[in-house]
Amino acid sequence: MKIKLIHRIPFVAALILLTALLSTNAIASSHREAPLISNDPLADNTDLYAFRSPDNPNTVTIIANYIPGQFAYGGPNYNSFGENIRYEIHIDNDAGIPGDEIIYRMTFNQTNEDPTTFFNIRLGAQNLKTTYTLDRSIDGGQSFQTIVENGIVPPPNIGPRSIESAAGLGATYESLFNEAITTASTGELVFAGPTDDPFFVDLGAIFDLGNSPRQNEQQRDGLANLNVHSIALQIPISTLLKAGAPSTPSNILDSDYVIGVWASASRPAIRTMSSGNEITHTGDWVQVSRLGMPLTNEAVIPIGDKDLWNRMSPYDEITDTVMDEYFYNPELALYMDDDQFGSAVPSLSALRIQTNSLGAFDFSNGADGLFGLKGSDAVAGTALDDAVFGTLLLPAAGKPRSVDLWPTFHTGVPNVIPYQLATGKEGNPLAEGKPFINNFLPNGGDMLRLNMAVPVTARTDENFSSLGLIQAAAIGLTVAPFNESIDLEFIPNMDGFPNGRRLEDDVTRIELQAVGGVVLAAVGLWYDDYDPESSPSPVTTDLVDVLSFSTGVEENDTAFGSSFPYLAMPWRGTEVGQ
């Protein structure tokens, strides 16, 4: 007897059936960000990174992680990339052309080399030996070229008898990990396999109604000692440039060097099971997970729309604007406002949004922000002018964060007034300031946007900071010689999140600070306690509170590597436990 399940229409019902069939006992992790995908961990995007490679700055490294919350001792059935899943990394490099320009697609095949044992590895054989094929499209997905065949996926790091001993593979895990790094026929370095989960956050506290940092209790990295599966690509910048772009940037904010990056996982729409243990997959491919900016679906999109968000592409967000409201008036902002629910979340007491910035502008939920300036002479020629980007940035009243949070997630930020540092503005946020960032790519919605012309901050630089652009802004505003002119110059950490995302970037802290209005302050919309008559310095108590805010978990639980793929090797099953 065969049971055929055909699920196409309606789409939500189809996805429910699909994920119900594919459900497994997933280990809890914050990466399980939506109800349906939490039942399909093999296809669950966890994190995405894109940064200029610190040891090879002529390249960009992109890392897409999948399969959340893996215990290192998770036998006998260890995690691995799934078959019948398309894992894809998408790159948009031209705002003038709708959709992706470059797509990397990885698919996996599994072989059981010894079905007579319950051990994962025995006598040189693996019962879950996984290989991959990597295809690349440079015409927006119209055609694909295979650039890696039979790529090696390292086995799980089970323990010394399974890996090093003669009864196992007779090799060091480091050698297996490094041997899995390969060079594609088109020049990219490629790695796919288990790694330490590089994300660090106090999961238990964050999701306990925002109790991070924990009050009178030790902070805990909820992802410590857990693994993920990573797809890492190191790609020449010349490959990622849009057609016709110069081989050398005109300056460190060259618009031609901006790319948008997002990752996804897709499954066939139909899964057929039979009593003979045969499973077939047919039908169109259906996107079941995606990721661009970190924490979007976890901490911005409400639970009622999380599954919808996962099946949309960033390009759907251009015309289907249902998600925009969650950025114009973010839920988290309610807990940073004493007139709303701020007093109920003491952990976020240091984060207070401007409600009377410069005595005129209210950015609390439901307020108008800068909308009162729309159409005025004050915004003429700036990004807020309807003739420039004002139709995007000032869409209507009652959408206060349309000028900072929404573009950060949906367009990137242009090097246009007012999006320059307050340095040199002499108190007027709409004056010319110090050029700071240009990762503007208004083609699509939620993506990581990276300006590949921005130099690398060496990881050994004394100014290197996990606060990324937050720290770069603080340096540009307060540290000589950067705050002494409005000239364009590289400030350390301008290559940090949200200009791309480095492994070290503390994105949870940065995004909470951003919701707390720190981007507004950076361009001169100071906090409410700023009083130029009593003190000309905008470094007020409120600003210091926001800049010094911390969740208490500020770095990964193990060191990153200094060369590709930069990720730490996966935790060993015999060395960690819960």
**pLDDT tens digits along 140-154:** 999 999 999 999 999
CA atoms within 13 A of residue 504's CA, in its CB half-sphere: 20
**pLDDT tens digits along 8-54:** 333 333 333 333 333 333 333 347 788 888 889 999 999 999 999 99
Q: CA 460 from chain center: how many Å?
A: 23
| Confidence (pLDDT) at 577 | 64
**Of 452, 456, 458, 373, which is closest to residue 417 (Cα–Cα)?**
373
Mean pLDDT of 404-415: 96
Instruction: Report yes or no on whether pTM surpasses 0.85.
Output: yes
Q: Does a cis peptide bond (omega within 30 degrees of 0) precede residue 498? A: yes
Confidence of residue 259 (pLDDT cuts 50, 70, 90): very high
DSSP-derived 3-state class of residue 48:
strand
Burial of 554 (0-12, 13-18, 19+ CB in 10 A): middle
- Radius of gyration of the chain measured on its C-alpha atoms: 24
DSSP-derived 3-state class of residue 284:
strand
Q: Are 186 and 147 in contact (CB under 8 A)?
A: yes
| Confidence (pLDDT) at 29 | 33
Mean pLDDT of 528-545: 93
DSSP-derived 3-state class of residue 229:
strand
Spatial neighbors of 511 by CB under 8 A, at least 6 apart, are: 294, 295, 299
Structure tokens at 401: 């964060």
**pLDDT tens digits along 352-407:** 999 999 999 999 999 999 999 999 999 999 999 999 999 999 999 999 999 999 99
CA atoms within 13 A of residue 558's CA, in its CB half-sphere: 18
Across the chain, mean pLDDT equals: 92
Angle at 494 between CA 318 and CA 236, to 5 degrees: 75
**Of 468, 478, 205, 512, which is closest to residue 353 (Cα–Cα)?**
512
Structure tokens at 283: 């039908």
Confidence of residue 216 (pLDDT cuts 50, 70, 90): confident
DSSP-derived 3-state class of residue 521:
helix
- Which residue has tokens 């967000």? 317
- Which residue has tokens 């208004």? 442
**pLDDT tens digits along 550-562:** 999 999 999 999 9
| Confidence (pLDDT) at 265 | 97
Mean pLDDT of 488-492: 97
Give percent above pLDDT 70 in the chain: 94
| E strands present in 424-495 | 448-451
Is a pLDDT exceeding 80 seen at residue 412? Answer: yes
Structure tokens at 62: 């992109």
Is a pLDDT exceeding 90 seen at residue 310? Answer: yes
Runs of H (alpha helix) within 289-389: 296-299, 306-311, 316-319, 325-328, 331-334
Domain definitions of the chain by residue range: 43-267+318-557
What is the spatial distance between Cα 448 and Cα 62, in angstroms, rounded to a whole number? 10
Confidence of residue 334 (pLDDT cuts 50, 70, 90): very high
